[in-house]
Every structure is written in structure tokens, then in C-alpha cells.
Structure 1
């Protein structure tokens, strides 16, 4: 079978990137390429066709044609890219050019270019790590720094080690080509573009863009007015950028009303966001016919890259972006609205000048623009990494160990994600993927949803019910009373907005659930009720968010994870002691009932169901406390942080250590007996940590309490339940914190005593080092340092000593950190005052030439 060849002259006609065809082809021949080109140059259309022709030429005669994969970050961009290339090729979609997105696939036996999303490509890699039958992979818009794209770069670099003939290409308009080129060992092609004229104007709103609830309604009204007025003045199509689907729908509503008020009935105002059906998304990005009305397309960031909207000459930019942020204290990750980056603002403005001269109007001030971050923050630094962690484990690199990523994941976030996978029983104790984990990783949606679907169908044995429930809690639907069961009833009846979209997704998920049930040879059970199934299925997605009411008449619930949140006023769920929570939102005031968060979606469940499904979180522990001079113990049965029951128990010898450690955490370090030696050692260590940092230990109160078992653990373990903390050797405990081999320099860097010219050694007081930037103090009789001009310095010369110069009776005479200045000035005043008071001691006129001594004049004369 002969592979299809693209007519590059036809496809590249009018595209600036086609002028670099020879350079791009040479880079492809090296096996890896990084291509940077401004928006509108045609790289998304031309490069896949060129790469497919290169692959066809390199494929041996008689071999099956190989496919070129084009990864686009969004489904609408995938479909648009495939549709555009197929149209230029003059072939039907699904022929030589096809696409695959979640829930939709259009490819054929003769497909040689397949567009797909990063998520689909990741799962294809897991099922076929060698990518057999694939000749090239093109990752477009990698500058967006999504977790999926970052992982793909790392995984494909490994695939190329096994298959050096595989061509890998990374493309972007704003990419830091040097970093990515080094990562892939790739050739770089920078494609210049003759820029069409672009004017950028600022039209800030008189009201704030953001308020306590997010994007302010006054600002949205300003954007809507601006879009309608500017489009009417220009007569061209307009593209409006907003951070999220809710803001898009609100501005569409406002703009339609504004256009009607002005009599602008000829303009068509269309939304564009990920919740819309595919046909509505495709309609918004398709070119309009000459007789069609001009359009205002109101979009989220999905129109920022990849998509060229034909006829567009005007952009209105709100300058906002929605990014993932993690609330570690409440174990919540959510989307927050923030200022977009300057790079994103430039990308958005460039949409207006892709095909000709254009205008970009920023609905904010030039000062706001200057304050924006320069570039987008890599998603891996702030996202919930649970989904990524499972894919990495399935790839054979748990926690990303050994995988070269452009930005390594934060250790704490990855540790939480790995713990979550173990809780969900998707990985074992060694972070290896379980059989359930492998099946979950293969599904093209989130880990928690997939786990709820696959485990839920075995639990409920009703594929339709499971599909409906997972589609409801994963589809971003709203229930004002937070009741998932009520939401399901509204969706089934059609009263709930988005019911048609939910119904399509529910059927797709039900088919997957039915396949899972058939594969296990289980038979479906009877139809389950919402009340019986919704809680169990929701809990299977997130067992750590199983929650128990904190009081009989309370709206507040304690989660197994330890966080707290409140149900909305009037929620029917408040009658349930136990609930399974799906969605939580940070909030303050009465709505949060003092918890700092509001439950937005949950389902009732029984105590028995909670104990069963939360089994991996169940623990029975002995809790020892020091109370009223005695060690007291109770045995606790907990579901995570939720106390199920407790009973007193007799203390054992091994209970003493934890009890005393807990007591110290509450009472503080003052409960210990601090000898002079202990205080002195702690102060010396404080100075070394302040000046040198790690590995010298932090010995502040908070640090020592946080690490109490590291330095006092062995001593605490030896105490009996009837012992006292006074028996502890605090100095010995602190010495356990000394870093080795650096500890051998302790006396050199922070000596206990300082030699002075009289021949004596004087104790150094480091106590001030415990209070911020204090200096070591040497209190010494003035006569013992005659002639000393250079102030001694400690910690390798970093810290000068502060001298407290004393009288013969050891009363303070002067404090100085500069002895030379003291001898040349204030000393004469001290001499005049003191030589009559202490005539037996030397007070020479010239302290530089005098002999330093600790003795009287008579003793010196002997």
C-alpha cells in the first residue's frame, strides 16, 4: 500500500512557514526538531503535511504506511486542524487526515496524519510504548506548559532512545527553544513572519476586574459594551477573551442584550468554551460566508493558540486567566482567576493580525499589563498531580523518578499524589500500578472519575446508574443545595441546564462500565436508587472526602482528610450524619459556618458504607498523652481524621515516648530543663545556621518542636510512664543534630572561648544569636586586651565579636565592635574616670604600647 502524499505547494500557498520548508525538512531528518513561528504562519497546517511526506519517503517500499501524530491541547483545536488540512488536501475528513478526541474518532485505513489531544496520546503511549506504526509525533503549543505536554516531552525522549528513527517535533509561537531543544537534543528552526500591522489600545474599566467572588459583574458588563461598540465601529468579526465558561456565557447574554438595544441585529454573538457541544464549538471557529452576518466570538483561552478564525480583525482581551491552585491546608485544588501573562496577552492580540491589519483592545490599563507575569507558570508546579502520578507509574517511572522533565514536579505535591493512588488502590505499597490502576490509566478521563466508574460498577452492578452518576459529578454541573441525588433527578427530567450534554456523556460512560462488568463475568444487578448508589460511587472517587457531621444540628462536616467544610443553608443533606463530598469551594462568613469552605456537591451515605469504602483509611491506634503528671492512653478507631470510637487503655513502657513528645508539642521547650551547656550549644548552632544555612540545623523553637523525635526521640523512648522530663539530657539531644562531617568544625567556627592578649581565654556568649541578628559577646576586663586592634571574627571571618569591656570589678565600661576606634578615642575618657577609682590597676596613656594583663600593677612588677 502506497502512503498518501500531500501537495505541499497547494497546502503551503500563502503560508509564511512554507518558505522555511527546506530548513524544516533538514531538521526533521535529524530525528528531532523544535520549530518556533509567530501566530498565523501556518505551522499547524503545513508542518504535519511536510512531516507525513518525509515519513512516507523514509518508509521502506512495501511496508505499511506510518502515521504522523499531531497533538493539540484542546479538542476544538484538534478538530479544526484536521478539518483545515483535509480541506486543503481535497480529501474527506477521516481519510488521509483524521482525528481522535475523547468520545469521538474519525480515522481510516489510509490515514497518515492524525490529530489528537495530549491525553489521548499519553494513553496510546501506555498501551503501545514503542508507538508501532507511528513515524512522527508533533507536539503543538508546548509553550502552554500543561502537565500532559511536559510528560509527553519526557516520555517521547525515552521512546526515541528505543526508536531513533521516530521523528519528534515541538512547536510553539512563544517557546523557549533552547531549553526544549536541549531536552530533545533537537535542531531548532525559527520561522520569521512578515507581521501585519497591529494596533494595541487600552480601555480600562472604571470598576475592578476582580472582587471577592471572582470576576466582577460590572467588569463583564464593561467587556460586553466594549465588544459590541467596537465591533459595530469596525464592521469586522471580533474575538473576546475571558477566563472561564461562566464569564463567557454571561458576556454573551449581556452583549446580545446590548446589541438589541442598539439595533445591531445583524451581528451574531457566539460563545466558545469546552462545555459546548462539538458542533457549536466548530461553528464558532469556522469561516463565515460572504452573506453571513459579522460575528462576535466570546471565548475562553482555548482560542488563544492554534486556531485561526477566518475574517477576524478585532480582539477584546479581559487580561484574565484561570489557573489551578492548591490549598494545602484544606487538601483542595481548584481553579482561581488571576491576571494572564504578558506572553498570553501578546498571543491573544496577535489573533487580530493573522490575516491582515488588526486591532487589539485591552480592557485594562497599561499599568496592569506591565504588572502581569512575563510567562505562564508551568502547570506542574501548582496542579493536583494525582492523574499525572498514575500515568507516570503506568509508564514505569513512579513519582517521575528517572524521567527527564522540563520542570520537575514539587516533591510534596508528588508525595501527596502517590499517597492518593495508594488510597484509591491504584498502586501498591511500592507505587507499582495495580490491575485496577492499569485499567483506570487506560481511560481517557480523570483518575478519580475512572476509579469511581470501574470500581462503582462492580459495587452497584448497574452500568447505567454508575454512568449517570459519574457524568453528573464530573461534568461541572451546579446544585445550589449541594445535593447530588437532586442534581441527577434534574438532569434526567431535563430541567437542569446541560441535560443533553450530560445524557450523551452518561451513555458513553455506561458503555465503558458495562464492558468492565462483562470482562469480569459479573451479571448486572437490579436498578439501584440514587440514595443507595450516589454516595457509594462518589466515595469511590475520593474516599478521603468521606465526611461526618460535627454535631447533631450542625451544617459543618469533618472530612477523613482532616479538613472541614459546611453545607449550604437549606441543603437536604444536613439530615445525613455521613456524606461523600465531590466538590468544595473556599469561602468565608456565615456560608462557611466558620470552616473556611463550602460543600458544593455531595451525596448522603450510611455509616456502614463509609466504613466499608473508606477501609484503606481505617486505623486503630494507641494515643498516649501526658496529663496531670501521668501518662494516659486511649485506643482510637479512626477513619482518617474522623474519630469513630475511643476507649481507655493501660499505659505500656513504649507509650511514654510518644506521650512526652506530644506534651512537649503543646507545652513548648520551656517544659525541658535547659542547663547552661544546653543553652550555650543551642546558641552556637543558631549562629552557624543563620550564617551558613544547611546542613547546620535550625534550632528555633518551631524547628526543634517539629523535629522533637529526631533529637530527643531515643531519650524519650527510654523514659518510663512515671518518669519526669527533668531527667532528659538536652545537651546530648542537641548534639544529635550536628551534621557530619561538618560537625568537626564546630569549635573552629564557633569556639566556646576566645584567647585574648593577656594570655587568658574568655567565654564567648552566643545568646544574642538566638534573637535574630545578634552578635557573639566577649565580656573581658579592659586591661586584658591592651594593644588589640583587629576585632576577632568568627564563623570563618563572617561575624565580628562584640566586646563588653569591664572594670577591674567586672562592671561594664564600654561596648564596642571596633577596638581600634575605642583605643584612639573613648578610651581616654574611661582612663580619666577610672584611674582614680582603681589606682592599683594599670591605666596607661598609650594603650597600644601597654602590656595586656589580668593583674594589678604591683603583681606586674614582681
Structure 2
């Protein structure tokens, strides 16, 4: 009996540009992996999955999974395919997102988010029952999307029958095709754009778009005024792009206050699904008013808003940025990339001639970065590192990715996982780590949920805290407890969403009850506050202690200092569990450079119990007024719990002098002429040749102090001084082997001149200076070519001196000097110094260090 196709492709693709590439798509799918590049609005998300579903039906294979980067887009894509198919969501077309699933036994195409698909891979690496996976909007280079690409490329080596497709509006097609291909790159199907004429106007705001707090109020008002005016002038549906959900709501309020016939609708991921559906549905008849949809970047490429002929673009986006010095990662508002701006503008010209109004200058557009950086380069990699450990690629070793994870960020993530008892010392997941990786929230939050429920014996209370900190809820005072009271009262705008998440998390915690052995015996009891305990369980390194009585500045265990907002009631708490910290300057940060955005009070007993892995006993030694001082300290990370003066021991000497050097600078050492000369020679070699010759600037020497000065510091006594060290001998420890054997050949200490004298070469202290030889002019007669050092790369600069050793000429081209300026020098000097030779022909005269009568 012949197989019945799952979808009516002619009906689905009737108005879609991508349907013209049907034959190419089918041919590409036959190779097992392929790449599709198609501009937004061409219909690739709607058309390609059912094409694969029909192919799989003919083979008797399984379901098609489609990964979309945002939950709003997942729901909209499933609904759109169902609408064109004439079926209900949950039938042939379904979806799964966090907390919601509409899939039935007859579902052939299942849309989902990258996070959900990743966890499905963790549970079932072979993807049983799945015949194809489509990764959509790969150009966004999300961290989860990059991991999926690498992992699915590995799955294909085990399952040759699995079809994998990567799709995008703008894409590094070559790199993705190489990653997905076998011996040769996967085929690429390019779907051309069907853009109509597009007019681009610029309407910059007179003031600033951004300040220290984000988008300015003046710019929000400017966005609303321009959008209202442009829509009224054009009489079409408009799409307005602003960076965040908060900015969307602010612009919507201003537009509604301005009035006008157009219906104003918000569109962002925090809205209830019915409001999202309303914004993405489009007008159903000409009788309905035109619309102004105000959206975040989700409508840029991953989601089509029907009917748009006008785009208003703020030119801003939210991107992940990492402050490595403070170990903080977060979303910040920055200028959008040129690729994003062009995609947004293209939304206006899909149906006919359109217009884009950019709320910045044309010069600013020209200076935009070509594309946004991949998220993996700046994201917090804790979640990714846990998934990689479960996958069998600890720290990403052995997994081919489009962009490798930064080594330092991955190292830090592995350390965090180990401190949370989620991985062992080799990066392999513990039993708790495997359970955490399989649950649909972040690693820190899941760990807090499971361990907190086991410790507090109150799954509901713990779920309330996790639901609050894992979503984008805000409280001006930064007090998590106050936020929880608002959410429980129902007064907070996100209360309904929070309640749904609390119920889901409570079910998860209760289902896992009794299965958590690690840390379940924490010394917490009735006096413990769930908000602080749960928050600290997720981020023990951000347990914080007030720096002084009545201060609003706190020191985190990680070493970061941050301040509470002015007027925050949390100032009464000596200890805090901090969840969110952001960079800030000025008064708001109280001089710390960072501000606490969410935290909860914490008892000291709970801080010490939860942060037990951070407790250290250490000795701190330093030099004060020339004397060695030592204190024994007990610390929680960088927070000093106790500090007691103790007698110095031999082991305290080297760290004290090293700390003194780092504090006072390398200049406190006894730099003899020989040591200074060796350092200058090495500096020239590093400047000209680079590695393996060492960098010897102040910063490099201080960073590598132990490698060259360590043995000498270790030999010092408490009564010694740094002036007793032989710096020149210590510097020689930096010489690379076997290159060290060529040191005197490349940068000799002295130069032999034609007179037979051996003259010292003065090497430059300045980074770009030349080596200098100062010698009497008569000693260089006959020297026609300027000597060159560092294998012929660097000419010597000669300071040619009079018999009284005053400079007569400076040159690094002796041949030109003898042929020209020398004759002028001869006329001026031979009468003044008659006892010294001043021959007319310096080429043929023997060089001498003596007088003519000597």
C-alpha cells in the first residue's frame, strides 16, 4: 500500500518563495546533510520541514525536529504550518517548549527550542524515532545552536540515515557545510530574495540613545514619535525594533498615549502566548485597522510578522558580554550589527515597495560591526560545560565547533561545576550532574532546586525562589524577598508567568525528592531564609559580606566588590546571597565598579555551610617598613573571616617579597648596568623575532616573576633585602633553549671597529629605539657598511665622536656619511684638532685610536 504524504506541499508552498527550490532541497536532502541560505520572509521555516517529513514518510522513517532559537518563534512556526496544512496544532505540526508541549501521535514536524533539543540529545544521543533535524536561524550563533551543530555532526557518524539541515538568513555557509559534511562539505541550497524596492531614511535623535542605565527616555519618546508619524504618513502596517522587552513596553505606552487610528501591539518573549499570537497573526481583513507592532530582535529573522511595509529601527540589540575581571556575564544594550540592521529593513519589502526608517545617522550605519560575535566567545559557559561533560567531551575536547570556546572561560566553567559537585576533577559529570543536565533549566538553578528542596524540605518555597531568579523579574531595591512578596500578591506584571513556572518546578522537585544525596545534610533549619539559601546554592562564589558597618558595598567570595542600590533595605544584612551583578560607574556603584541587581539576606551559618568548598586556611605575608609581617587568615573565597598575627616562617619569605615587588614595581630591584643591558638586549630580540624570546617589559616580568626570580626569592631570609639579588643572572633563566646559544651572535655586548677597539653597544630602553655605538670618528675609517644585528634585521646607529668625545654625526648609513657629510665635518674639525687625522679619502686611511704623532 503506497505511503500517503504527510503534507500537501503545493498548498503549503503556494505563496512561498522557497518552494521554487523544491527540487534542489530534495536533492540536497539525499546527501544526508545540507545547508539552506534564504532571506527572512522567503518561507524556509514553513516549507523545508514538511518537505523532509514527506521524504521520510516515503522511507517509513521518523519525525522531523525543528530547532528555533526563541519560544515565540517555535509556537508561531508550528501554528503557521498547521494553518497552511488545514490542521490543528498538535496534529501533523506540533511544538515543545519549556513548560508547554502540543504534540500528538500523528505529529510529523515538531518545533522546539535549542535548549529542549539539547536535553533530548543528552537523554537519547541516537535520537530514536527521529528521521531529520533542522537547525533554523543558525546565523544567530547562539551558544546552544553552536553546540547542537557540533553534536549532531557527531550523531550523523553513528546514524547515516539521520538527515541534518542547517538554515539561516545570513550564514557562514562554508563553515557550516564543512562541519556537517563527511569527506566533502555538505551541499548548500541558496534561495534568492524576492525583495521589492526599499527606501531607507535616517531620523537620528538629537541626544543620546544610551546612557549608563540603558536606553534613554528621550530616545524612547523619539522612537514613538517617529513610528507614529511614519505610519500615519504611509498608511501601512509597521514593525518597530527596540532592544529589550522593557523598551518594547515603554514604546507601546508612549504610542498609545499619542493616540492614532493604528492598533499598537507589543511582541516579546515575556508576553502571554495569546498576546504573542495576536501580534504575529496579521490582519485578517482590510476592515481591521493597520497595526504598529513593537518588537525585540525576535522579529528580525526567526519570526515573520505578516503585512509589514514599514520598519522603524532603533539600531540597538541586546548581546551577551563578559567582564572577566569581575567574573560577570550579562546582556547589555549595544549597537546592532550591520547584518541585523539590513535584515530588519528587509522586512518592509517582502510584499511590495517598503520603507525603513533608521533612528541613527548614515555615518553610524557605516561604522557598525559587520555581524554580531558568536555567543560562545562571551557567554557564561557553565551550562555548556556540563552538557559537554555528559556528551563525553569534557571542556569541549574532541568536539568540532564553528568557534572554539575561549580556554579561560571554559576553565572557569569547569571549576564552577566542580565546586557545585556537578563534575569530578576530570570534568566528568557526577550522578547529581547527570540529573541536573537532564532537567529543563540552567545548571545553577537546577542544582539550587534539587539541593535546596532536599535541605529545606519545602519544594514549593524553593521553586518560588528558582522561578523568580531564572526569569527576567526585577526589583528596584535588589531585594529578592521583596520581589517574591510582589509576585505572591499578584501585583507584579509577571506574576501569572511566575506562578506557572513555580508549579512546574515544584513538580520537578517533588519528582526528584529523595534522589539527592550530595549536600542534602546542609546545616540549615527553621531560621534559614529560603531566598538566601537557594540563591547561594546556585552561586556560592557570590556569597557576599558587607565591607563595613552601614556600608552598601559588599565583597563577594569571588573577589568582586559591588554595591547595593541606594535606599535598599538589604543594607541591614551583613551577609547576602547575590544572584545578579552588573557593571556600573559613579555614585550608583559606590566606587566598586559594579551594582547588585538581585540578592537575598543570608545567615552567616548558612553562608559557611553552603560555601564550605570555598573555605580556606591561609597565611598572608608582606613587607612593611622593610620588615616581614605575617598573618594567619581563615577565608571564604576572598572574604576574610578571621586574621591573626603570627611568627614568620621560612615559607613566608618568598611570597612576601613577591607581593612587595608586584605592589611597588620591578624598579625596586637592584638593576646593575649588566642586568639593564641584558634586559635591553632581550627586549630587542622580542621586538624583532617574538617567540620564543621572552617579553621583558615590566608587566611581563611581574606576571612571570616565579619563573625567573622565584629561586632567588626562595633563598632569601626574613632579614634579607631585594637589593641583594643578582638580577642579571636571574634574567638568564628566561632564555629559551636552544636559541640561547645564539644570544651573543644576535645581540652582542660589544662591537669591534676597524681601529681594533671593542666598543660597548648601548641597547635601547625605549621599545622602538635602535642599538647605539658611540666611537671616535677616526676609529671607523674604512668601515663602509653599517653593521647590522639580530641576523641582519637591525642597523647599528653610530654616534661618531670628536677627539674630545663630542658628537660630530649620527648615522646608520656609514657609506652615505663618508660620501657626503664627512667632508663638511673634515673642514670644520682639522684645524681644531690638528694632531688627529682628517684625511680627504677616509676609505684608504687606516683607522686609529691614536693621534698622528702617537
Tell me the TM-score range normalised by the shorter chain: over 0.9
Tell whether the 8 Å contact from 2:432 to 2:516 is kept in structure 1 after alignment.
Answer: no
SS of match in other structure, 1:431? coil
Tell whether the 8 Å contact from 1:322 to 1:338 is kept in structure 2 after alignment.
Answer: yes
Tell whether the 8 Å contact from 1:803 to 1:815 is kept in structure 2 after alignment.
Answer: yes
SS of match in other structure, 1:775? coil
SS of match in other structure, 2:529? helix
Partner Cα distance (1:239, 1:322) in 2 = 18
Number of the residue aligned with 1:800: 795
Query: How many residues are matched?
Result: 846
Partner Cα distance (2:517, 2:791) in 1 = 73
Number of the residue aligned with 1:222: 222
- Structure 1 position 204, deviation (Å): 2.4
Partner Cα distance (2:410, 2:738) in 1 = 31
Determine whether 1:816 maps to 2:816. Answer: no
Determine whether 1:278 maps to 2:273. Answer: yes
Q: What TM-score, normalized by structure 1, do the two folds share?
A: 0.94
Number of the residue aligned with 2:353: 357
Out of 486, 490, 508, the position equivalent to 2:482 is 486
Number of the residue aligned with 1:412: 408
Partner Cα distance (1:222, 1:629) in 2 = 62
Partner Cα distance (1:657, 1:133) in 2 = 63
Number of the residue aligned with 2:510: 514
Tell whether the 8 Å contact from 1:40 to 1:355 is kept in structure 2 after alignment.
Answer: no
Partner Cα distance (2:163, 2:180) in 1 = 11
Tell whether the 8 Å contact from 2:450 to 2:516 is kept in structure 1 after alignment.
Answer: no
Partner Cα distance (2:778, 2:194) in 1 = 82
Number of the residue aligned with 2:469: 473
Number of the residue aligned with 1:634: 631
Partner Cα distance (2:485, 2:457) in 1 = 20
Give matches, 1:510-589, under 5 Å: 510-520=506-516, 532-589=529-586
Number of the residue aligned with 2:782: 787
Structure 1 residues 756, 3: closer, same or farther in 2, change over 3 A? farther
Number of the residue aligned with 2:49: 48
Determine whether 1:392 maps to 2:388. Answer: yes
- Structure 1 position 786, deviation (Å): 0.8
Tell whether the 8 Å contact from 1:485 to 1:530 is kept in structure 2 after alignment.
Answer: no
Structure 1 residues 575, 183: closer, same or farther in 2, change over 3 A? same
Number of the residue aligned with 2:24: 23
Partner Cα distance (2:527, 2:243) in 1 = 34
Number of the residue aligned with 1:842: 837
Number of the residue aligned with 1:104: 100
Tell whether the 8 Å contact from 2:5 to 2:58 is kept in structure 1 after alignment.
Answer: no
Determine whether 1:401 maps to 2:397. Answer: yes
Tell whether the 8 Å contact from 2:381 to 2:410 is kept in structure 1 after alignment.
Answer: yes
SS of match in other structure, 2:582? strand
SS of match in other structure, 2:629? strand
Tell whether the 8 Å contact from 1:35 to 1:170 is kept in structure 2 after alignment.
Answer: yes
Tell whether the 8 Å contact from 1:752 to 1:763 is kept in structure 2 after alignment.
Answer: yes
Number of the residue aligned with 2:62: 66
Deviations 1:795-835 (A, max 9, x none): 22221111122334544333222222322333234334443
Partner Cα distance (2:90, 2:20) in 1 = 28
- Structure 1 position 143, deviation (Å): 0.7
Number of the residue aligned with 2:642: 645
Number of the residue aligned with 2:251: 251
Structure 1 residues 714, 22: closer, same or farther in 2, change over 3 A? same
Number of the residue aligned with 1:14: 15
Deviations 1:303-332 (A, max 9, x none): 111322222222111111111112223222
Deviations 1:133-157 (A, max 9, x none): 2111111111111111111111111
- Structure 1 position 589, deviation (Å): 2.8
Report which stretch shifted further, 241-250 or 722-731.
Answer: 722-731
Deviations 1:454-487 (A, max 9, x none): 1211121101000111111222222222211121
Number of the residue aligned with 1:308: 304
- Structure 1 position 608, deviation (Å): 1.0
Give matches, 1:646-725, under 5 Å: 646-725=643-722
Structure 1 segments unaligned to the other structure (5+ residues) = 60-64
Structure 1 residues 623, 196: closer, same or farther in 2, change over 3 A? same
- Structure 1 position 840, deviation (Å): 3.8
Number of the residue aligned with 2:72: 76
- Structure 1 position 603, deviation (Å): 0.7
- Structure 1 position 246, deviation (Å): 0.8
Partner Cα distance (2:154, 2:851) in 1 = 81
Report which stretch shifted further, 285-294 or 74-83.
Answer: 285-294
**CA RMSD, aligned part only?**
2.2
Structure 2 segments unaligned to the other structure (5+ residues) = none
Give matches, 1:117-156, under 5 Å: 117-156=113-152
- Structure 1 position 529, deviation (Å): 7.4
Number of the residue aligned with 2:422: 426
Tell whether the 8 Å contact from 2:786 to 2:814 is kept in structure 1 after alignment.
Answer: yes
- Structure 1 position 415, deviation (Å): 2.1
Structure 1 residues 193, 570: closer, same or farther in 2, change over 3 A? closer
- Structure 1 position 619, deviation (Å): 0.8
Number of the residue aligned with 1:62: none
Out of 435, 440, 443, the position equivalent to 1:444 is 440
- Structure 1 position 342, deviation (Å): 1.4
- Structure 1 position 531, deviation (Å): 6.3
Structure 1 residues 789, 521: closer, same or farther in 2, change over 3 A? closer
Number of the residue aligned with 1:293: 289
- Structure 1 position 210, deviation (Å): 1.9
SS of match in other structure, 1:553? coil
Out of 601, 622, 647, the position equivalent to 1:604 is 601
SS of match in other structure, 2:513? helix
Tell whether the 8 Å contact from 1:3 to 1:110 is kept in structure 2 after alignment.
Answer: no
- Structure 1 position 207, deviation (Å): 2.9
SS of match in other structure, 2:548? coil
Number of the residue aligned with 2:747: 750
Partner Cα distance (2:380, 2:300) in 1 = 24
Out of 733, 736, 744, the position equivalent to 1:736 is 733
Structure 1 residues 404, 494: closer, same or farther in 2, change over 3 A? same
Tell whether the 8 Å contact from 1:4 to 1:110 is kept in structure 2 after alignment.
Answer: no
Partner Cα distance (1:227, 1:351) in 2 = 15
